Amino acid sequence: MTARILLIEDNHQNRYLATFLLEAHGFQVIQADSGPQGLELAASHTPDAILLDIQLPGMDGYAVATALKNDPRLNPIPIIAVTSYAMAGDREKCFAAGAVGYIEKPINPDSFVEEILRFLPRKSTETPR
């Protein structure tokens, strides 16, 4: 089954590049360009994972992550933060808001999808231990 990724990103170029890379690896991508739209699409599509830009106008990524985690239906969906913030403490802030992973911008086309795969839950087809 194709994994569905919700991409919440306000920058058109980043959205284009991330979508291109994910689709090339067989993912289905749902795009949102704002926090509120992302929350709406998360509720209507229940994606397998959410790629969340932290620097969003209006409602920022931390607020989006908090809202997702406070919704019992959306709470289990893994959130991977994508941010160009380079300051110390941002990683911790992302994890505190509920993210399971953290990818730094600029997006590296050679490792982007591989990095995301590390944070996705194991497929049910895998042998349980």
Binding site for Mn ion (CB under 5 A): 10-11, 53, 55
Task: Between 3 and 116, name the residue whose CB sits nearer to Mn ion.
Answer: 116
Structure token pair of residue 49 = 């994972």
Task: Between 37 and 55, name the residue whose CB sits nearer to Mn ion.
Answer: 55
The amino acid at 105: K
CB of 73 to Mn ion, least distance (A): 26
Residue nearest to Mn ion (CB): 55
The amino acid at 47: P
CB of 117 to Mn ion, least distance (A): 23
The amino acid at 9: E
**Which segments of 49-112 are extended strands (E)?**
49-53, 79-83, 101-104
Task: Between 10 and 48, name the residue whose CB sits nearer to Mn ion.
Answer: 10
Helix (H) or strand (E) holding 5: strand 4-8
Per-residue CA distances from 59 to 32, 37, 126 (Å): 13, 10, 37
Task: Between 48 and 53, name the residue whose CB sits nearer to Mn ion.
Answer: 53
